[in-house]
Amino acid sequence: MGVRLGGRGRLGEDDDLVEAHEINVTPFIDVMLVLLIIFMVAAPLATVDVGVELPASTVQPQPRPDKPVFVTLKPDLSVAVGEQLIARDNLVATLDAASNHNKDERVFLRADKSVNYGALMDLLSQLRDAGYLKVALVGLDGR
């Protein structure tokens, strides 16, 4: 709160102090900048993914469902459903649990570009034999 302490007037004048009505916005700006920095640091940490180097593609991207089911084939030929690494023997059971036993749900297949074609075809055959016929291949946009 600010007051004006100027020279005194003549005797008998009103000696009331006058308040200055101003808002100090500096603390508000400081808090907003600190929150911005916190969100800039925390946002990349919230998007944890299985590390796979995807090949590029020039196909038009399709709309993504709300809760997609991802099957990932890593460079060491290990398989993950969503974020969970699993054994190949448990692929069907884990996929059934992830899709709520809905064989018509689209399964998104990601594979590292260093994976050979035969290993990818073996995984596609395993998905087909399990009854998952709607398989979409995931790649990076090469445009």
Residue 81's CATH number? 3.30.420.270
Can you give the pLDDT at residue 17?
A: 74
Please check whether residue 9 lies inside any domain of the structure: no
13 against 24, higher pLDDT: 24
What total of structural domains would you count in the chain?
1
In sequence order, what are the beta bridge partners of 136? 108
Tens of pLDDT, residues 54-107: 777 777 766 777 788 889 999 999 999 988 898 988 888 999 888 888 888 889
The more confidently predicted of residues 15 and 18 is 18
Contact call for residues 54 and 136 (beta carbons, < 8 A): no
**Strand bridging mode 84-86 / 2-3:** unpaired
Residue 22 domain flag: no
The overall average pLDDT reported for the chain is 82
- Tell me the residue range of the domain where 134 lies: 70-139
Separation between Cα atoms, residue 74 and residue 125, nearest integer Å? 17
Q: Read out DSSP for 23-68?
A: ---HHHHHHHHHHHHHHHHHHHHH-------PPEE-SPPPPPPSS-
